[in-house]
Structure 1
């Protein structure tokens, strides 16, 4: 039998929920977050920031923070917008998407800030 770890997760336990690949890993520090944003920019993807309440995070609808940052290549500007969204909605999860113009989908998606889990 496989030795792959089973991650206990349930709808009734907000703290157990996983959102994307990175949520199964230890939390990223500031340097690692910067590297992920640099990767998104290097691919030519458009950064987009979304947020939602922890109890609604498993749904497909997250609130958009402003418009996607079309053509933005300044990593510090993207980090500043992530921080501004988190400051405006401290109880919410905040995620960053890298929108791929050619594939018409999100090439990257990661939760940068986790809101207070009730």
Structure 2
């Protein structure tokens, strides 16, 4: 049996904080982010982009970047909005969300750009 790893994630150490499953992996590159957007579109979910300062990442409230992109299927347009959010807020965490209309919940949520930690 393999060893279980203890990830040293502590509230007192902002650099160590984990915010979802993907944060235990290396940051995604542009190609990997594109694949996630393609998955959201393929599932018929509505993409949305949110951002927050690293010191508030554990809060429930993240800032919405514009409105969710209801019915948007153009992957390039979704990626452009995510990039625009990141450029406008370079020190913030930016996350991509896929809203599932049928389940009336988030189908997926992942941080695609990590802000600078203090």
CA distance in 2, matches of 1:2, 1:82: 38
Q: Shift of residue 30 of structure 1?
A: 1.1
Question: Counterpart in 2 of 1:21?
Answer: 21
After TM superposition, the score normalised by the length of structure 1 is 0.96
Q: Establish whether residue 98 from structure 1 lines up as the match of residue 59 from structure 2.
A: no
Q: Distance in 2 between matches of 1:2 and 1:100?
A: 36
Q: Which runs of 5+ in 1 are unaligned?
A: none
Aligned-residue offset at 1:4:
1.6
How many residues are treated as equivalent by the alignment? Answer: 118
Aligned to 1:78: 78
Query: How high is the TM-score relative to the length of structure 2?
Result: 0.96
Q: CA RMSD in A?
A: 1.2
Gaps of 5+ in 2: none
Q: Which residue of 2 aligns with 1:58?
A: 58
